Amino acid sequence: MIRRFIDRIFSASPKQRKLIHGHQVTPKKIAKRSHHINPDLLSKNAVKVTAVLQEAGYDAYIVGGAVRDLLLGIAPKDFDVATDATPEEVQKLFRRSRVIGRRFQIVHVTFYGKDRPEIIEVSTFRAHVQADEAHVAASGRILRDNVWGSQAEDATRRDFTINAMYYDPHTETVLDYHGGMQDIEAKTIRMIGEPTQRYREDPVRMLRAIRFAAKTGFAIEPKTRAPLEQLANLIQDVPSARLFDEILKLLMSGHAWSSISQLQAAGLHHKILPLIDEITSHEDRLTFVKKSLENTDNRIKSGKPVSAGFLFATLLWHDVQEAWARYENNDMPTIPALHAAIDEVLESQKSFLGMQRRHEADMREIWTMQPRLEKRVGRYPFRLVETNKFKAGYDFLLLRAEVGEVSEDLSEWWTNFWLGDDIQRQELMTLAKSESTETSSTNKKRRRRTRSKNAKPKAPEQTN
């Protein structure tokens, strides 16, 4: 205890003073008066985890993205804690905890409160793994990374300087090993170490650079940006489920359009979302997708849930429409043509996206509901409006109405039907009878038009 107290007062602990690659690494200590972290933005549970670990004699800090966000005055969406206790030692201290992960072994400590349960991720300080064959693929990608190290080593293996700071809620001090604070002030995303090597070790870092740039509005420092285009192909080595998670994080960052256009500007989209080129080169697609991503950002900002199926349903909707028109023009009836189009589009995405089946099922549901929402006959609207699938299909219809793809009258009709009682619903059905045949034939014509319009690409729009 006394040693810890003296260390705190005089300088970094012996662990922090450890040599790394021959360099003395001591962190800059940033006191409360210089960092202005608002304690109200802290998670009580994260503070509790650090306190329990510290009381048991371990080092423990809030770390990574949470510190970055706190320094920016943003409420972090989750909290990570880093410690010199091993996962087993951490697990012994918390009843509701479990060790998870293979590549990174971490401990999830769960807290149950009034709202959703909160999970605090606790990771043990790790050393930067050297490129020995047991851990590294031919491309340089690190496969397993469970070598414990000092805090200084742990800081060095993190990705960007702004993500490598440690905050002790007890002393309210930030420890900064790589000039992260300066980069926060200069609004810069800078890779720790040699960028090319760090991207080779883990190509997902390229997508993370884009995500943080979009989220913070910071510029990617030139040396950190330079290798992106050349190394873009490495993304195809990333397991597809991890890649899909990263894409979702980009789309759900609250800055989806900026993420997408920065991804495209850096040339990183070819192997993950090649459809971005299609979207940005067709004005109608662009308007629709931008509108959808704007809605997504607003939902995220107001804490509402966003579904991956819905997002991808909007991104791929014009592909579906094109294929649908093609099948219809080959004399396939409307609904089978739509199903054939959906099969084709989902199949074509398989090699890019590790999308889970449940997302595909959601997308199919949303798309197949569209012609039905336009028809409004028989008992179908009455049954549909009671199902839990209705809301997604209806939201999608609202989006289409917003860009003028279906009439505002139709979306309003559904809003009234959804909110109405039995008598009002009957009246609305009578009103719909006359309109529905007209709408569906216009849509068939419009789909044909969409196809011929899309056949002639326009010059790409300025997307920034």
Least Å from the CB of residue 64 to Mg ion: 6
Nearer to ligand ATP, 246 or 405 (CB): 246
Pairwise CA distance, residues 207 & 268, whole Å: 8
First to last CA, the chain: 54
Q: Is 105 helix (H, G, I), strand (E, B) or coil?
A: coil
Site string for ligand ATP, 387-426 (x = CB under 6 A): ----------------------------------------
**Known catalytic residue at 421:** no
Least Å from the CB of residue 197 to Mg ion: 24
Tokens of 120: 């605090």
Q: Which of residues 150-189 bind ligand ATP (CB under 6 A)?
A: 158-159, 163-164
Instruction: Judge contact between 205 and 198, C-beta under 8 A.
Output: yes
Nearer to ligand ATP, 120 or 369 (CB): 120
Q: What is the DSSP string of 203-244?
A: THHHHHHHHHHHHH-PEEPHHHHTTHHHHGGGGGGS-HHHHH
Q: Which of 59, 80, 84, 319 is catalytic?
A: 80
**Known catalytic residue at 132:** no
Q: Which of 7, 78, 168, 245 is catalytic?
A: 78
Least Å from the CB of residue 109 to Mg ion: 15
**Known catalytic residue at 159:** yes
Question: Which residue of 15, 29, 52, 78 would you call a contact of ligand ATP, by CB under 6 A?
Answer: 78
202 near ligand ATP, rule: CB under 6 A: yes
203 binds, among Mg ion, ligand ATP, none (CB under 5 to 8 A by kind): none
Tokens of 46: 């994260």
Least Å from the CB of residue 65 to Mg ion: 4
Pairwise CA distance, residues 406 & 375, whole Å: 12
Least Å from the CB of residue 448 to Mg ion: 47
Q: Which of residues 248-277 bind ligand ATP (CB under 6 A)?
A: 249
Q: Is 424 helix (H, G, I), strand (E, B) or coil?
A: helix
- The two counts, helices (H) then strands (E), for the chain are 22, 12
Least Å from the CB of residue 25 to ligand ATP: 16
Least Å from the CB of residue 189 to ligand ATP: 11
164 binds, among Mg ion, ligand ATP, none (CB under 5 to 8 A by kind): ligand ATP
Least Å from the CB of residue 76 to Mg ion: 7
Nearer to ligand ATP, 159 or 221 (CB): 159
Pairwise CA distance, residues 411 & 401, whole Å: 6
Q: Helix 422-454 to helix 283-301 angle, to the nearest 10 degrees?
A: 130
Tokens of 272: 């993950």
Pairwise CA distance, residues 332 & 326, whole Å: 9
Tokens of 375: 């028809």
Nearer to ligand ATP, 208 or 290 (CB): 208
Nearer to Mg ion, 78 or 402 (CB): 78
Pairwise CA distance, residues 71 & 237, whole Å: 34
27 near ligand ATP, rule: CB under 6 A: no
Q: CB under 6 A: which stretch of 6-14, 73-81, 424-432, 438-446 binds ligand ATP?
A: 73-81
80 near ligand ATP, rule: CB under 6 A: yes
Question: Which residue of 204, 266, 286, 300 would you call a contact of ligand ATP, by CB under 6 A?
Answer: 204
118 near ligand ATP, rule: CB under 6 A: no
Say how many residues touch ligand ATP, by CB under 6 A: 13
Q: Which of 69, 84, 154, 159 is catalytic?
A: 159
Q: Are strands 173-176 and 188-189 parallel, antiparallel or unpaired?
A: unpaired
Which residues have CB under 8 Å from 224's CB, separation 6+?
Answer: 160, 189, 190, 191, 195, 209
362 near ligand ATP, rule: CB under 6 A: no
Tokens of 106: 């971490």
Tokens of 94: 């918390």
Instruction: Judge contact between 253 and 299, C-beta under 8 A.
Output: no
Which residues have CB under 8 Å from 117's CB, separation 6+?
Answer: 110, 111
Instruction: Judge contact between 402 and 291, C-beta under 8 A.
Output: yes
205 near ligand ATP, rule: CB under 6 A: yes
Where does this chain bind Mg ion (CB under 5 A)? 65, 78
Instruction: Judge contact between 254 and 293, C-beta under 8 A.
Output: no
Pairwise CA distance, residues 430 & 300, whole Å: 38
Nearer to ligand ATP, 255 or 285 (CB): 255
64 near ligand ATP, rule: CB under 6 A: yes
User: Where on the chain is the footprint of ligand ATP (CB under 6 A)?
Assistant: 64-65, 77-78, 80, 158-159, 163-164, 202, 204-205, 249
Catalytic residue numbers read: 78, 80, 159
